[in-house]
Amino acid sequence: MQKFLTSCDDIFLKYRYLIWFILLLPAFFFRDFTIPTELKYVSMVDEALRNNTLFTFYNHGEAYADKPPLYFWLLMLGKQITGKHMMLIIGLFSLLPAIGIAVIMDKWFKKFDISHNPVISNLLLITTALFLGLSVFGRMDMMMCFFIVLSLYTFFRIYKNEHSPYETWLFPVYIFLAIFSKGPFGFMIPVASIVVFLIVVKKIRTIGNYFGLKQCAVLCGLCAAWFLSIYWEGGNEYLNNLLFKQTVGRGIDSFAHKEPIWYYFPRLLWSFAPWTILYIAMIVKGIRNKLFASDSFLFFVVIMVTNIVMLSLISAKVDVYLMPIYPFVVYLCSAIFHKDNSEKSVNISLIVQAVIFVLFFPCLLIAKKYVPYQFNFTLLFFGAGAFSISGLLALWMIKIKKTSKAVTGMGFGMILLLCAVSFSMPQLNKYIGFREMAEEGEKIAKTENIEHFATYRFGYARNMDVFLNRSMERIMTIAELDSLNNLPHKTILYVRKTDIRGDEALSEWLSSKELKWEIDENCWYIVGGNE
């Protein structure tokens, strides 16, 4: 058995990136676009393709200047290659950067002889809640995180004089690509981390080695080319929106995502789940045993502390803004865990987590009775069973003092649960996306020769133009609804049930209309046609 386990470890070590890729890829196979972001992004890309714009983006005619173009270019490229938007292709733009981050961190540890178990480090990173979530959703955050980690790794190589000459040119390019992926945080996070680190190690006078005339010229030149392209394509108003409203405005007194200064601290507890207690135990151990003295670990700590403080002071706050610190927290804790995982606090943290895993399956059995929808739980039960069994195995491994195996087992238990959920997505798509609602409306429209589609105060529904291949009118008042009755043709009207319940006038107006389809909180009616 020992020989078999050793062989498995060797296989995982050699092919771990491919294994992570294969195990996480099903998350994109059967899933619809999520409503708030993925569907909106592909709708914006379609609008840009129709308008022949590359640097300025709009959502149904409204400027959307808070996101740079790199991610949208990739979505455009995916559609141009395949002829349509495919969740599988879009997912690669998150999954590949996530695995790329693990590759960079592994190279960092290998380059500077930091002892760790690469399989456990990768597994901890991939299964940390927020990192896992952004790995399987179509957003630009993971891409920005990849370029930030790459820029910080390149800086550290230059700092240690372990770099190639061309890397001094690539360093500002990586920072620009981080900016070009998500915006100003791609600049603020690496630059603040580097400056504070140089102050801590009392080498701030060497900052010209990293941000000298050459690097500043490259970074400023790339940014200037981008801004000029925006001005040429979208004019002064769009450029001002990008540079001042979306950058300065969000930082000082945000019009969106404005939160108190302490916002991140309680949220870090769940976003590092299920390993939160383990990470806390490792950081406490590192402080107590003075394990942060090496340059690499000191730099990791500086990155963590600097960016938590800096981003807490900024007015706009969203959980994903802190994503770039996650690889450094995880790998720092993984290295400490590898050095010594025999402490009582480590065992307690893992036992608590394993017990939660064990209880998941029976809790799901109980919860099944209260699910109001028809749902086949077979695959989910399989994943939940594997999840709970991994908890039982972890408890056994802790008992026989094979703590590393406990972490590995629970990590794979999480991924197997994700795979089970992924293969269950066809049943869940009607609750997370609009494809089914749009396609059902399109069928009725063809049958009854309906050409007009509209939404009532339902802004996200307009992004169904991705499926309908036509624009949708957005109606905001009852008077505008009344005008539909005077049209010679019928209209398919999409409405949220929350609006119907909260608006007595709307409820009364719809009482005489024909409800054709409903699911969860969404429904649509056929109205008008000279009723």
Both 200 and 268 in a single domain? yes
pTM: 0.92
* Distance in Å from the first CA to the final CA of the chain: 76
**pLDDT-derived band at 191, boundaries 50, 70, 90:** very high
Among 428, 444, 479, the domain-final residue is 428
**pLDDT-derived band at 8, boundaries 50, 70, 90:** low
Both 334 and 349 in a single domain? no
What range defines the domain where residue 74 resides? 2-338
Residue 1, pLDDT score: 42
Both 303 and 326 in a single domain? yes
pLDDT digits (tens, 9 = 90+) for 419-450: 888 888 888 888 888 888 888 888 888 888 88
Both 297 and 358 in a single domain? no
Judge whether 335 and 294 are in contact, CB under 8 Å.
Answer: no
Mean pLDDT of the chain: 88
Both 332 and 376 in a single domain? no
Query: Taking residues 243-272, what's their average pLDDT?
Result: 70
Both 154 and 187 in a single domain? yes
- Backbone Cα Rg of the chain: 26
Write the CB contacts of 231 (distance below 8 Å, at least 6 apart in sequence): 238, 239
Judge whether 280 and 304 are in contact, CB under 8 Å.
Answer: no
pLDDT digits (tens, 9 = 90+) for 451-500: 889 998 888 888 998 998 888 888 888 888 888 888 888 889 999 888 88
Both 306 and 287 in a single domain? yes
Query: Taking residues 120-147, what's their average pLDDT?
Result: 94
pLDDT digits (tens, 9 = 90+) for 486-520: 888 888 999 988 888 888 888 888 888 888 888 77
How far apart are the C-alpha atoms of 138 and 34, rounded to whole Å? 9
Which of the two residues, 253 and 416, has the higher pLDDT score?
416
Among 309, 338, 367, the domain-final residue is 338
pLDDT digits (tens, 9 = 90+) for 341-354: 777 888 888 999 99
Structure tokens at 402: 């094979």
Beta strand 522-528 pairing with 490-496: antiparallel
pLDDT digits (tens, 9 = 90+) for 31-74: 999 888 899 999 999 999 999 999 999 998 888 888 899 999 99
Both 249 and 333 in a single domain? yes
Residue 9, pLDDT score: 65
Both 160 and 308 in a single domain? yes
Which of the two residues, 306 and 2, has the higher pLDDT score?
306
Both 231 and 102 in a single domain? yes
Among 276, 309, 338, the domain-final residue is 338
Both 323 and 424 in a single domain? no
Strand-pairing partners, residue 63, are 58
* Domain tally, the chain: 3
Both 310 and 377 in a single domain? no
